[in-house]
A and B are shown apart, each in its own frame.
Chain A
Amino acid sequence: MALAANKSTETVRPTFRSTAAPLAIAAASALALAACGGENASAPSTAADTDYQETLMTRLLDAAPGDVIDIPAGRFMFDRSLSLAVDGVTIRGAGMDKTILSFKDQVAGAEGLLVTASDFTIEDLAIEDTKGDALKVNEGENIVIRRVRTEWTGGPKTENGAYGIYPVQTTNVLLEGNVAIGASDAGIYVGQSRNVIVRNNRAEQNVAGIEIENTFDADVYGNVATGNTGGILVFNMPNLSQPGARTRVFDNDISDNNLKNFAVKGTAVASVPAGSGVVINSNDQVEIFENEIRRNKTANVIIASVYSSGLSQDGMSDDFDAYPEAIYVYDNDMGEGGGNPDGLELQALKMLKFGPTGSFPDVLWDGFVDPAKAVDGALPPAQKICVRNGDAKVLNVDAPNQFANPSVASAPFDCELPRLPAVQLPEKLAEL
């Protein structure tokens, strides 16, 4: 169910104010070409499609700090990636269903738009059908992405690009009001960043709806993550320059994430079972509260170590903290989950433990505990996994012992942790 996406195939050729000089040059070179024998003197027949590509590429090349690049309503075709490398630029369309940058014909480039700049805002447009990632921002600060739609219009497919909206190694980031559909990895993916707000977005039909990875201080709220394989993921991966911690996931609607996993094998999200609401993997200090988390058929909340995601122990830097710690799940509206888990092991476990009509409890934990931190087999209070969520129970699947002694409990998880502070973005971002 795409969100009123404009499916018009009409190609619109925008009009542009053009300074006299380029026109004169164009005229002169056309004349010269004609005079000099005239090979290729006639315009290519695809001029209507490619004209705007040249125009936008040139504007991105010539952009100066403070510039606003307005892209009119229309459907514009691109055969190569766009890129921006100038700080302080705003790219603005006429609406996510009106200004559509289509990369259906892309022949080169690993993304639709690559930004390597700070103080960047992009808003009110759509990026469709890129070969790789739709919108990537690689290193920068003060990044605002709002009311942008990234979509693979053929629905969920393994050959779709990996990420829709993809800021990585960024600081002070605001992602709001975006729509991400059909990514073969994560619709909205924030990697290796600091100080991030992800709010009021909609992610559907992705493998991961929203993923926060190796990031410090992220607030994820007011989002709808539905119809994905996994709704909202908070991960730490090894071998990166920074781990991550302190993510708050609250006031989101994380329901019905039961889409068959269509990620390529080998990616981290390929191990996410269909039917996962919230998944925390190896991350620390994560708060999950006041969300609606319902009808996710494996479990509404999964808390796991990297050891449950198929990574090689040879391939991990020694200092990597593989264990999820200081996780606090409270006051969510959870239910109707865990009735049909994905994967043979989990199915067998469910049958064995809860019978054909039973369900996993709301929270599923793989059971890995850092032996270096454990005291009498349990984590000290500050590192504990705490669940205070009505009558929600925790299933410890006992993965360290090959699922030998799975157990359901609530008392050992009845604890609380200090609340994390809200993420504060610089006021400057409001103006961007």
Chain B
Amino acid sequence: MRLFVAFLAITLAAACDEARSPDAFSGPPAFHDEGYPERLSDWNVIRAERGALRLNAGVTPYELATPLFSDYALKLRTVYLPAGSAADYRNDEVFEFPVGAIITKTFYYVEGADGTVSDAPAPVLDMPTPDLAGSELASLDLTGVRLMETRVLARRADGWVAIPYVWDERQRDATLKRTGAVMPMTLRRDGAPPVDFPYVAPNQNQCRGCHAPNNTTRALSPIGPKARHLNAPSRYAGGRNQLAAWREAGILSASDAQLAAAPANARWTDENAPVAARARAYLDVNCSHCHNDVGPADTSGLDLTPAAAHGPKLGFCKSPIAAGDGTGGRPFDIVPGDPDRSILLFRMETTNPAAMMPELGRALSHDEGVALVRDWILSLGGGCA
């Protein structure tokens, strides 16, 4: 009897491995034009197998010059377009993607043997060729990696849909988690004691908190695939400009004139770039999906898009509207030259859910981002009369 039970368990386990983790992609990515597939692997875009996170053929990894901060998580972004289709270039807005487009963003950490995670340099995606067009079966070595969640944005006929998946403990696949999840984590950073924090995967409605940048139409949309975020050399494109590489790969339709005039955000870590450009790029990608003229945070009158000029709209000497204890006892959104009297910086530093900005997507403060914005505010002279 005992033998039989053991045998059954082994058989079942083997069956699971086989069912959960097929050895190869079976065909191209699978677009689902309705419903919420139960598993990430149902999309056939990325897959964890043989110790690596693998990208299916035709799936393009990309990166942003300056990305959103998410509790020091590392991110792998991919885009897939149906064969023969391309996204239409837009100068300032998100590119117009064809129906059938699938974008994924996978959040992960480098994990130590004791289960804590760190912000150690990420393992680099292994690209079989330096050319995006040949990026088939690029893969991320999962040794020492903990996959947290993968968010899927799919462009259906009636618009984008956002679908959250949380990785199973065994790291074989990610499972649909529409109500989100809270995962207790411990982060180790150099020179600091380990810090416990709740990693929060958003619930599906909360996706709208960032991905519905127009609070009147409330249409869902990606945020990253804008010219200014992609217009930079990319390690995924062999160091070449990513917009040019996208066009070459046939996934972006843009004219030479458009690409020549494309706006470019600074890389926030680029110490050769002016601090203002780096800070504004940081505020753009972390804040402007809400803090724009028509966004959910237009109620505050604070506009953090790159186009906002120095003045009350950009927070200079502007009183808060409904910040509550988000003011941190400080008088104005930005006091030029005085970061420690600037509400904006307080809201970046605090981890109180009632006061922190962004409202979603972090439980920790981003020390380096705070330092950058602090330097920028310091560099602005003038104060408030």
Contact = CB atoms under 8 A, between A and B. Distances in A.
Interface in A107-134: 107-110, 114, 116, 130-133
Interface string A41-66: 00000000000011001101100000
Contacts of B200: 80, 107-108
A133 B324 contact: yes
9 contacts: A36-B12, A36-B13, A36-B16, A39-B169, A110-B353, A110-B354, A114-B209, A162-B354, A315-B317
Contacts of A237: 301, 319, 321
Interface stretch (A143-151, A260-268, A399-407, A422-430): A260-268
A241 interface: yes
B299 A191 contact: yes
Interface string A311-330: 11111110000000000000
A428 B278 CA distance: 50
A107 B329 contact: no
Contacts, number: 187
Closest 4 CB pairs of A and B: A162-B324, A266-B327, A315-B317, A132-B354
A153 interface: no
B325 interface: yes
B169 A108 contact: no
B178 interface: yes
Nearest to A264: B325
Interface in B313-330: 313, 316-330
Given A83-B205, A139-B216, A139-B296, 6 more contacts: A106-B353, A110-B359, A131-B353, A191-B322, A314-B385, A315-B333
Interface string A73-95: 00000011101110000000000
B4 to A, nearest CB: 15
B385 A264 contact: no
A169 B12 CA distance: 56
Nearest to B303: A239
B16 A312 contact: no
Contacts of A32: 16
B331 A162 contact: no
B327 A267 contact: yes
B262 interface: no
Contacts of A310: 331
Contacts of B363: 107-108
B325 A312 contact: no
Contacts of A39: 169-170
B296 A163 contact: no
Nearest to A315: B317
B329 A265 contact: yes
A225 to B, nearest CB: 19
A189 interface: yes
A276 interface: no
B215 interface: yes
B383 to A, nearest CB: 8
Contacts of B326: 162, 264
Contact of B324 (A54, A79, A132): A132
Contacts of B212: 116
A277 interface: no
Most buried by A among B169, B325, B355, B384: B325
A132 B353 CA distance: 7
A35 B179 contact: no
Interface in A264-302: 264-268
Nearest to B180: A80
B206 A81 contact: yes
A132 B358 CA distance: 13
A240 B208 contact: no
A252 to B, nearest CB: 23
B325 A184 contact: yes
Given A83-B203, A239-B301, A61 B178 contact: yes
B32 interface: no
A168 B322 contact: yes
A83 B180 CA distance: 12
A159 interface: yes
Nearest to A108: B200
B198 interface: yes
A39 B167 CA distance: 13
A40 interface: yes
A130 B354 CA distance: 8
Contacts of A58: 178-179
Nearest to A39: B169
B322 A108 contact: no
Contact of A168 (B169, B299, B384): B299
A139 B218 CA distance: 10
Nearest to A133: B324
A266 B182 contact: no
Interface in A189-219: 189, 191-192, 213
B313 A314 contact: no
A158 interface: yes
A239 B328 contact: no
Given A107-B353, A162-B354, A312 B332 contact: yes
Contacts of B179: 53-54, 57-58, 61
Nearest to A110: B359
Nearest to B313: A239
Given A132-B324, A139-B215, A239-B313, A116 B208 contact: yes
Given A106-B353, A116-B215, A267-B324, A138 B319 contact: no
B296 A116 contact: yes
Interface in A153-192: 158-159, 161-163, 166, 168-169, 184-185, 189, 191-192
A249 B343 CA distance: 33
Interface string A228-244: 00000000011111000
A131 B354 contact: yes
